[in-house]
């Protein structure tokens, strides 16, 4: 592969965007081990630098790509979030810190993705970065379970033992926390598995299958039960978009059989990770019922707040900046619940309809593609997003790095699908 197929000749803004992807995967673990530096702010710094460089470097025709309903939806959501600053129930600092992940990141990342990622080689590099980084997280998770923890990891576990030590067993968290780790492993593991079906050299196929297996094992040892449902949804959407009835029937049968074994047998109960995964299918599970009770109580409270309690009134920022508010005492768990509390039923409905529209529009774009190899790659991205959308009901997933940047750039890539299809073939994943 000559000169890594042009990585050294990439435009600066493209290198910056891929560096941002790497940074979003790693800044959490760096922040855990190196104290005193606000590494989270580095995301905004990199976004601004990449945007400035892109403004000066990109051609006029590149910016035509933002003439897309995807960009306009993100702009509308950002505007709604800006207006939320007038919500009297939340503090300014709470709003300022929450709008970053809720609205600023999707707006800027989608815009940059639309302008910068526009050919098949860009798509392949995107896959290579996210799969390798996620697999590194899997390896680190295996190290945590079987070898031990780094100093920063021990400190994290001491502060989060209630959620990461269940029945004395470690919920592996790797670079992030167990919820994000498990959901991401299911997400990227599925992508790697789907890519292994693209025609390519044998060693690359074997590498992708190994990465998929490591990521799925990472999902298992995370103890994140919601990731199971995300994986099932991703598989279903992927099979449906494959247009292969035989594969759909066989894959559906295998998936249903797996769930039946989990639900109605005790096979593997001696293994803690399998036992915990099995509890995801138990409607009487105590933690599940705690969430249902929380949502029931919140439904009564939110009847008087159709536009929500304001950004940053719940979750981490709620405890930090709005601790005098009732909503700050509610454990959101679900990102759906968090949005509902912050934006009210009106804002949540808008957001959810946007997500369904993006999912449907992307599926439609992929369905009509003629390049079968490219279509399979894009199917892995949109099916992965469908899984993340499901996972976000049980945990804060889609708004947390690195899942956020993977999803937002996936949207942008699929929105550019018609133009990407016309570009020359890449041999990176072939």
Q: Residues 49-71: pLDDT tens digits?
A: 999 999 998 888 889 999 999 99
Q: What angle do CA 387, 370, 125 make, to 5 degrees?
A: 55
- Rounded CA separation 376/384 (Å): 12
Please give the helix or strand (H or E) that residue 325 lies within, else none.
none
Which one, of 411, 343, 303, 272, lies nearest residue 98 by Cα? 343
Percentage of the chain exceeding pLDDT 70: 88
How many of the other CB atoms lie within 10 Å of CB of 361? 18
User: Would you say residue 369 has pLDDT above 80?
Assistant: yes
Percentage of the chain exceeding pLDDT 90: 53
pLDDT value at residue 343: 95
List the single range of 16-20, 314-318, 382-386 with lowest mean pLDDT.
314-318
pLDDT value at residue 296: 83
Averaged pLDDT, 282-306: 76
What pLDDT, in 10s, does the model give residues 14-44? 999 999 999 999 988 888 888 767 787 889 9
User: Would you say residue 93 has pLDDT above 50?
Assistant: yes
pLDDT value at residue 279: 63
What pLDDT, in 10s, does the model give residues 224-252? 877 888 888 999 899 888 876 666 676 66
Q: How would DSSP label each residue in 39-89?
A: TTHHHHHHHHHHHHHHHHHS-HHHHGGG-SHHHHHHHHHHHHHHHGGG-TT
More reliable by pLDDT, 368 or 215: 215
Per-residue pLDDT band for 172 (boundaries 50, 70, 90) equals: confident
CB–CB of 196/238 below 8 Å?
no
161-to-170, 219, 401 alpha-carbon distances in Å: 9, 19, 22
Q: What is the mean pLDDT of the chain?
A: 87
Per-residue pLDDT band for 334 (boundaries 50, 70, 90) equals: confident
Provide the 8-state DSSP code for 165: E
User: Would you say residue 348 has pLDDT above 70?
Assistant: yes
Per-residue pLDDT band for 143 (boundaries 50, 70, 90) equals: very high
pLDDT value at residue 3: 45
Query: 252-274 burial, b if ≥16 CB within 10 A, otherwise e?
Result: eeeeeeeeeebeeeeeeeeebbe
List the single range of 153-157, 240-244, 269-273 with lowest mean pLDDT.
269-273
pLDDT value at residue 252: 67
List the single range of 66-70, 286-290, 298-302 with lowest mean pLDDT.
286-290
- Rounded CA separation 398/400 (Å): 6
User: Would you say residue 2 has pLDDT above 60?
Assistant: no
More reliable by pLDDT, 259 or 141: 141
């Amino acid at each position: 592969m000559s000169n890594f197929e042009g990585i050294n000749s990439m435009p600066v803004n493209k290198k910056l965007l891929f560096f941002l992807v790497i940074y979003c995967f790693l800044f959490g673990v760096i922040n855990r081990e190196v104290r005193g530096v606000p590494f989270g702010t580095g995301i905004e710094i990199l976004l601004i630098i990449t945007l400035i460089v892109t403004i000066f470097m990109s051609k006029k025709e590149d910016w035509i790509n933002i003439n897309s309903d995807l960009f306009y939806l993100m702009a509308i959501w950002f505007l709604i979030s800006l207006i939320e600053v007038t919500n009297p129930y939340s503090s300014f600092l709470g709003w300022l810190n929450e709008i970053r992940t809720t609205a600023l990141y999707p707006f800027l990342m989608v815009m940059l993705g639309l302008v910068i990622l526009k050919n098949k080689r860009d798509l392949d590099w995107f896959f290579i970065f996210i799969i390798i980084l996620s697999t590194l997280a899997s390896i680190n998770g295996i190290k945590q379970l079987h070898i031990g923890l780094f100093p920063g990891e021990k400190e994290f576990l001491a502060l989060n033992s209630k959620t990461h030590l269940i029945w004395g067993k470690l919920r592996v968290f790797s670079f992030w926390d167990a919820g994000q780790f498990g959901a991401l492993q299911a997400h990227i593991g599925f992508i790697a598995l789907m890519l292994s079906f693209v025609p390519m050299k044998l060693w690359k196929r074997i590498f992708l299958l190994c990465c998929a297996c490591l990521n799925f094992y990472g999902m298992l040892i995370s103890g994140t039960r919601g990731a199971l449902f995300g994986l099932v949804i991703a598989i279903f959407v992927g099979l449906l978009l494959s247009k292969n009835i035989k594969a759909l029937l066989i894959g559906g049968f295998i998936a249903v059989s797996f769930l039946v074994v989990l639900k109605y047998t005790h096979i593997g109960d001696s293994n803690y990770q399998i036992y915990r995964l099995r509890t995801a299918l138990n409607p009487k599970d105590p933690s599940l019922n705690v969430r249902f009770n929380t949502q029931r109580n919140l439904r009564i409270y939110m009847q008087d707040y159709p536009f929500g309690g304001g950004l940053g009134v719940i979750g981490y920022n709620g405890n930090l900046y709005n601790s005098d508010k009732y909503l700050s005492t509610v454990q959101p768990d679900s990102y759906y619940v968090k949005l509902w509390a912050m934006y009210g039923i009106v804002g949540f409905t808008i957001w959810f309809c946007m997500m369904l529209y993006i999912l449907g529009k992307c599926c439609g774009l992929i369905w009509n593609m003629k390049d079968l190899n490219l279509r399979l790659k894009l199917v892995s991205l949109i099916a992965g997003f469908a899984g993340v959308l499901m996972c976000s009901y049980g945990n804060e997933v889609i708004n947390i790095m690195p899942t956020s940047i993977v999803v937002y750039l996936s949207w942008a890539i699929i929105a550019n699908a018609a133009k990407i299809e016309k570009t020359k073939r890449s041999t990176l994943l072939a």
